Homo-oligomer: A and B are copies of this chain.
């Protein structure tokens, strides 16, 4: 399995991964009914660098990276990662996160920030913590979970040492 930049040819595979995550509404603050074109326009937009986890031709995950703010905030990257439901438990999210840290550093970013980690997404939070991300903020009841109701969201942050 290797990480490579996404191309237009990957769009169908990327949507097959993003779609169920968006539809579940449990981890991303995106409209559950978001259509494929809007989701791909967002995920592969011009401000984003988008990658796929390619396992011998099968796309098992995707992530995107962009500046989290403009101007005086453009040295901090923001990333989003989604693993194919059928491929969970194989360390793909960790591989994508490792890749994003190295890539962000190579691009000159000084940190990566996650703006909105749903507090019930405990596996993800533990994973990001194990990769050096710290919880730097807690947003009270900022996420409406489809079954759990209003839950907190977390802001997580990792400073990057220079390349």
Decide if B72 touches A145 in the complex (CB within 8 Å): yes
Number of this chain's copies in the assembly equals: 2
On chain B, the residues within 8 Å of A143 by CB distance are: 69, 72-73
On chain B, the residues within 8 Å of A145 by CB distance are: 72
**Distance in angstroms between the alpha carbons of A75 and B145 in the assembled complex:** 12
**Distance in angstroms between the alpha carbons of A32 and B138 in the assembled complex:** 30
Decide if B72 touches A144 in the complex (CB within 8 Å): yes
Q: Which of A43-92 contact B (CB under 8 A)?
A: 68-76
For chain A, the count of residues having a C-beta within 8 Å of the partner chain is 39
Closest approach, in angstroms, between the C-beta of A23 and any C-beta of chain B? 11
Decide if B137 touches A29 in the complex (CB within 8 Å): no
Decide if A140 touches B116 in the complex (CB within 8 Å): no
On chain B, the residues within 8 Å of A150 by CB distance are: 110
**Distance in angstroms between the alpha carbons of A145 and B75 in the assembled complex:** 12
Nearest 10 CB-CB pairings of A with B: A137-B137, A29-B73, A29-B69, A72-B144, A30-B71, A137-B155, A31-B71, A29-B71, A72-B143, A76-B142
